[in-house]
Amino acid sequence: MTILEVLHTAPSCGTCPIRHRAVCARCETDELAALDAIKFYRSFEAGQTLIWAGDRMDFVASVVSGVATLTQVMEDGRTQTVGLLFPSDFVGRPGRERAPYNVIATTDLLMCCFRKKPFEELMGRTPHIGQRLLEMTLDELDAAREWMLLLGRKTAREKIASLLAIVGRRDAALHLRKPQGQMVFDLPLTREAMADYLGLTLETVSRQISALKRDGVIELEGKRHVTVPDYNRLLEEAGDDADGGFFG
């Protein structure tokens, strides 16, 4: 996907030249100019670790295109991914010195970064940036708690279905709607990265994907390209008592 596509499809704020829903949905023109003055872009390749846990972070950033993970590693190597970052998602905590997690690009990735010090000053002058950050953080907290239910109580099959549903939903938001609850997308994660996010092994991930394919819940073309013929069926498999409200 090109940057232009993101600019075209991401939720935008009208006047903002970079259109970060993250920070500028309610920005005035002069605030946008201030943001522009402290921003810079960085791009990364799939597989690259952008930030190591414990690193000093002198910027905050939002994802322009691509997907990244937030990952924790125990001393003995056990790995758990604690967050997925899609375009428009925000990384970094104002007021924090050091990164708490590894941030890893799982696809080619473009980030829009803001130097932390001036960003914090701008926050001080511009209350709605802080408000927006609070909203986003609360949303992330909800997502983390939903994932806790998945990690603690769902079966391997339900976990895979849940992940596919979420990736599809986030990805499809960037594309035109397909007819009749159908959904088509590319998995932005390797089997191993999926396993680390779901608290499984990559073998179990592979087996369950094969099973969902055998049962007609999904279709696969290659290893990454997924077609979901019936999104509601997928949600049932995910064990969500949730809405299913994506395709109304």
Residue 239 in contact with a copy of itself, rule: CB under 8 A: yes
Q: Indicate whether 97 belongs to the interface with a copy of itself (CB under 8 A).
A: no
- Which one, of 38, 33, 30, 69, lies nearest residue 53 by Cα? 69
- How many other β-carbons are positioned within 10 Å of the β-carbon of residue 51? 21
CB nearer to DNA: pick between 137 and 210: 210
Contact partner at residue 190 from DNA, a copy of itself, none, CB < 5 to 8 Å by partner kind = DNA
- Measured CA to CA, the distance from residue 188 to residue 224 in angstroms comes to 8
The binder of a copy of itself chosen from 47, 141, 223, 232 (CB under 8 A): 141
Least distance CB 81 / a copy of itself (angstroms): 8
């428009």: which residue's tokens?
A: 88
Q: Does 204 bind DNA (CB under 7 A)?
A: yes
Identity of the residue, 100 or 229, whose beta carbon is nearer to DNA in the bound complex? 229
**154, 156, 158, 162 alpha-carbon torsion, rounded to 10°:** 100
Angle formed by the axes of helices 116-125 and 127-153, nearest 10°: 110
For residue 162, the minimal CB distance to DNA (Å) is 12
Q: Which of 28, 140, 215, 221 binds a copy of itself (CB under 8 A)?
A: 140
